C-alpha cells in the first residue's frame, strides 16, 4: 500500500494562531523610532532588505522563494505569504532550509491553542521563566480545499515517526518529498492535543477565505497553560 494515503480535503473554518505582534504586519511599525518621514522611510527600507516576504516578492529570497510561490490580491495575503517566507528554525513538516514554510492550522481553536501554548511554554523555559500573563494571539480562520493531501491516519511506523513529539526529522523529510511532488499538504493527528487534528498546507494558493477570528490571551503559570 502506498504511503502516505493521498486524498482530497474540504476543510472549512480551520484555525491558525499568530502572535499578536505579527498579526497585522503594519508597515509603519518603525515610525516611532524615526525623527521624521525620511528617517522612517530609511528604516523601512533597511528592514525590508532582510524581510523574507519582501525578498521573495523581489526575487531575492535566500532559499529561492519567488513571487510565483506567493499569493496576491486576496484578503490577508501578507499573513499568508509570511507563513511560507519565514521558515524560522523549522517545524514538523519544514526545515530551516526548506524553500517554503507552511501554513499550520488546526480543525478547531482548542487544538490550535494547545499547539501554540506548548511552544510558548518551551520558549519560556529556555529563558528561565515559567509564567507569563495575557500573551496575545490572533486567530485566523481559513478554508482549505484541495485534491492531493497526505493523510497520516494509519498508525504505521512511518506515520508514528512523523508524529514524534520530540523530533521533526521524519516529518520534515516527508514534507520535502511532498513539496517535490507539488502535493497540497498534510492532515495529521495533533501531537499536543490527543483529540485534535492539525493541517499543514504546503501551497500558499490553497489557503482560502482567510478572515480574522478571536483575540486569544494565553496565561502560563508554573509552566502550564491556565485557561
φ/ψ of 168, rounded to 5, equals -100, 0
Give 62-90 pLDDT, tens digit per residue.
554 667 778 999 999 999 999 998 899 99
Contact 27, 121 (CB under 8 A): no
Of 7, 14, 2, give the one whose Cα is nearest residue 209: 14
Give 113-137 pLDDT, tens digit per residue.
999 999 999 999 999 999 999 999 9
pLDDT (0 to 100) of residue 22: 77
Looking at per-residue confidence, does 120 or 46 come out higher?
A: 120
pLDDT (0 to 100) of residue 60: 42
pLDDT (0 to 100) of residue 21: 84
Spatial distance between the Cα atoms of 97 and 112, rounded to a whole number of angstroms: 25
Question: Which residue matches cell numbers 507569563?
Answer: 132
Amino acid at each position: 500500500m502506498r504511503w502516505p494515503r493521498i486524498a482530497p480535503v474540504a476543510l472549512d473554518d480551520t484555525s491558525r494562531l499568530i502572535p499578536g505582534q505579527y498579526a497585522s504586519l503594519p508597515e509603519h511599525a518603525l515610525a516611532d523610532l524615526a525623527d521624521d518621514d525620511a528617517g522612517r522611510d530609511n528604516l523601512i527600507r533597511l528592514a525590508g532588505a532582510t524581510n523574507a516576504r519582501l525578498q521573495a516578492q523581489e526575487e531575492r529570497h535566500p532559499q529561492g522563494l519567488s513571487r510565483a510561490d506567493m499569493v496576491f490580491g486576496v484578503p490577508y495575503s501578507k499573513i499568508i505569504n509570511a507563513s511560507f517566507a519565514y521558515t524560522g528554525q523549522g517545524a514538523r513538516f519544514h526545515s530551516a532550509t526548506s524553500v517554503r514554510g507552511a501554513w499550520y492550522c488546526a480543525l478547531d481553536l482548542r487544538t490550535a491553542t494547545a499547539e501554540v501554548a506548548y511552544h510558548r511554554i518551551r520558549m519560556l523555559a529556555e529563558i528561565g521563566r515559567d509564567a507569563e500573563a495575557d500573551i496575545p494571539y490572533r486567530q485566523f480562520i481559513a478554508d482549505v480545499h484541495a485534491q492531493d493531501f497526505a493523510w497520516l491516519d494509519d498508525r504505521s511506523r512511518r506515520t508514528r515517526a512523523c508524529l514524534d513529539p520530540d523530533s521533526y526529522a521524519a516529518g520534515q523529510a516527508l514534507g520535502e518529498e511532498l513539496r517535490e511532488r507539488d502535493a497540497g499538504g498534510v492532515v495529521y493527528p495533533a501531537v499536543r492535543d490527543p483529540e485534535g487534528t492539525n493541517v499543514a498546507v504546503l501551497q500558499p494558493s490553497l489557503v482560502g477565505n482567510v478572515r480574522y477570528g478571536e483575540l486569544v490571551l494565553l496565561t502560563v503559570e508554573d509552566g502550564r497553560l491556565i485557561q
